[in-house]
Structure formats: structure tokens, C-alpha cells
């Protein structure tokens, strides 16, 4: 039996583009519908690092660090606003294998570095997963405005205040994971993205519109075990 996990998410950039809902719908598995804000769906790239990843109940010192990078969108099922992951790149081989086997998440092994220097994050990820399409993301990002509570800003709340994540397992079944954490604190952010081939690796053209950037220093999270979503909805 897979048990809940505790972890911290730190130094996150939310890089977000508006996308046509019909285009997004064509990339989603049956049972999920694009969620929209101001009439558009959204595609996001999120670099960050996990810290203290461990089974729930163990002390923080027993946890592992896990730099990560994901490509996601925003969906609904049974009226619940959720996240759908297209891909998750991560540094640790054992963590990637475990996440694929036990949590049915589309993780890919990558070599990732994240450094916090002079108030800026230097992030570089190169996908090395056997048999997967190569993907690279190289960026510098930093907070560039005053902090605010995400629930108080409509777009920020839409993009980050979600507590259920969906993925499609290798056998084609739809699975979900519930998470719990405090509300997000966000900052307006600036980013210099030097290389990004993640979108194309996941079947998207990189959107032409300027992205909306948010930064968060992070928060602590509890993730429940992955569960299979019932056919036809109604969890």
C-alpha cells in the first residue's frame, strides 16, 4: 500500500500562457475538461525544487531533495478545479522510478540544477530519460513585486489554488492525487528563459503570447496516494 508523502515545494516559477480551449481539449484524456479563465485555457511550465520528500510521519531530516520541472494545464471533473500533468522531469533516478511505479505519474529522469544567488534562481534541466523525447529548460527567474495571497487575486487563485492533480497512467486509466497545504503566497515575477523545448516535447507549439509570471518561495505539502478515477465521473 502506498502511503501519503510529506514534502516542501520551494523556489517556484509559474510560467503561464493563454491557450485556445479547443486546442487544449484535444490534448486531454476522456473525462477531463479544460478549465478556463477569461475564456481561455492555460498552459504552464513550473520549475522548482522539492525538499524533505518523505513518507508522512517521518522527520524532515529523513527526507530527500528532488529538483523538478513540470508542464501542466487546468481542468475540471465533477465540478472540481484540478491540475493535469503532461510531464514531470526530476533529478533522482530512484524517485522517478518510484513515482512512475507507485504513483502513476509521468515522471522523466533529468539532470537538474537549481541555485539561489543574489535573489535570483538559476535553473537548468536536461531530460535524459531513456526512450523519451529530449527536452531542455534553462532560465533565470526572480520575484519583482510585492507579495500577495493568491486567493485574493483572481488569476493567481485560478492558476495555483488547486488541490487535486490528474494524470493518465501508462495503461490509459485516469488517476488523481489529492494534496493539502496552506494558501499560496505569490509575487509578480520576471524571467529570462534562454532555452525551452518542453512544450514541443509534450506536443505543443510554444505559445506566441507573452507569458504571465508568478514566483513563490514555497510551502509545505501532504500528498495522498494516487487513486484510480471512476469511469463516468463522480468520485
The pLDDT of residue 104: 58
15, containing H or E segment: strand 5-19
CA dist 125 and 225 (Å) reads: 27
Cβ-based burial of 115 (10 A; exposed 0-12, middle 13-18, buried ≥19): exposed
Confidence band of 3 (pLDDT split at 50, 70, 90): confident
The pTM score is 0.92
Phi, psi of 218 (to 5 degrees): 120, 180
What does the pLDDT read at residue 235? 56
What distance in Å separates the CA atoms of residue 183 and residue 2, rounded to the nearest whole number?
Answer: 26
Residues in the chain: 235
Cα gap 120→58, rounded to integer Å: 31
For 233, other C-beta atoms within 10 Å of its C-beta total: 13
219 by Cβ neighbours in 10 Å (0-12 / 13-18 / 19+) ranks as middle
Contact present, 192 and 139 (Cβ < 8 Å): yes
**For 113-168, where are the alpha helices, taking DSSP H only?**
154-160
Residue 93 confidence class, pLDDT cut points 50, 70, 90? very low
pLDDT (mean) for 57-73: 88
179-217 pLDDT tens trace: 999 999 999 999 999 999 998 888 888 888 899 999 999
Cβ partners under 8 Å of residue 170, min gap 6: 104
Average pLDDT over residues 58-85: 91
pLDDT in tens, 156-177: 999 999 999 998 887 788 999 9
- Angle at the Cα of 232 (from 40 to 4), degrees rounded to 5? 85
Percent of the chain whose predicted confidence (pLDDT) is above 70: 91
Q: Which of 77-86, 125-134, 220-229 has the lowest mean pLDDT?
A: 125-134
Average pLDDT rounded to a whole number, residues 215-223: 96
Phi, psi of 28 (to 5 degrees): -100, 150
What is the torsional sign of CA 90, 103, 4, 93?
negative
Enumerate the H helices of 32-144 as residue ranges. 93-102
Is the pLDDT at 98 greater than 80? The verdict is no
Band of residue 233 on the pLDDT scale cut at 50, 70, 90: low
Q: Say what the pLDDT of residue 232 is.
A: 64
Walk me through the domains of the chain, giving residue ranges and CATH numbers.
Answer: 5-228 (2.40.400.10)
DSSP H helices in the chain: 21-26, 93-102, 154-160, 198-201
- pLDDT > 60? residue 100: no
Rounded mean pLDDT, 217-228: 92
Residue 1 has pLDDT above 70, yes or no: no
Amino acid at each position: 500500500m502506498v502511503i501519503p508523502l510529506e514534502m516542501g515545494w520551494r523556489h517556484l516559477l509559474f510560467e503561464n500562457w493563454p491557450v485556445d480551449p479547443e486546442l487544449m481539449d484535444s490534448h486531454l484524456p476522456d473525462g477531463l475538461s479544460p478549465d478556463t479563465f477569461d475564456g481561455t485555457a492555460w498552459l504552464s511550465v513550473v520549475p522548482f525544487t522539492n525538499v524533505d520528500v518523505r513518507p508522512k510521519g517521518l522527520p524532515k531530516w529523513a527526507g530527500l531533495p528532488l529538483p523538478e520541472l513540470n508542464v501542466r494545464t487546468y481542468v475540471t471533473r465533477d465540478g472540481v478545479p484540478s491540475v493535469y500533468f503532461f510531464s514531470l522531469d526530476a533529478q533522482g533516478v530512484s524517485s522517478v522510478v518510484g513515482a512512475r511505479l507507485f504513483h502513476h505519474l509521468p515522471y522523466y529522469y533529468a539532470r537538474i540544477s537549481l541555485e539561489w544567488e543574489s535573489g535570483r534562481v538559476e535553473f537548468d534541466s536536461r531530460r535524459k530519460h531513456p526512450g523519451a523525447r529530449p527536452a531542455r529548460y534553462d532560465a533565470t527567474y526572480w520575484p519583482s513585486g510585492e507579495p500577495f495571497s493568491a486567493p485574493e487575486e483572481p488569476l493567481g487563485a485560478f492558476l495555483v489554488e488547486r488541490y487535486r492533480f490528474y494524470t493518465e497512467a501508462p495503461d490509459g486509466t485516469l488517476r488523481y492525487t489529492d494534496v493539502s497545504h496552506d494558501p499560496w503566497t505569490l509575487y509578480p515575477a520576471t524571467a529570462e528563459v534562454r532555452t525551452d523545448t518542453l512544450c514541443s516535447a509534450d506536443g505543443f507549439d510554444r505559445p506566441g503570447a507573452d507569458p504571465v509570471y508568478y514566483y513563490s518561495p514555497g510551502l509545505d505539502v501532504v500528498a495522498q496516494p494516487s487513486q484510480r478515477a471512476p469511469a463516468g465521473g463522480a468520485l
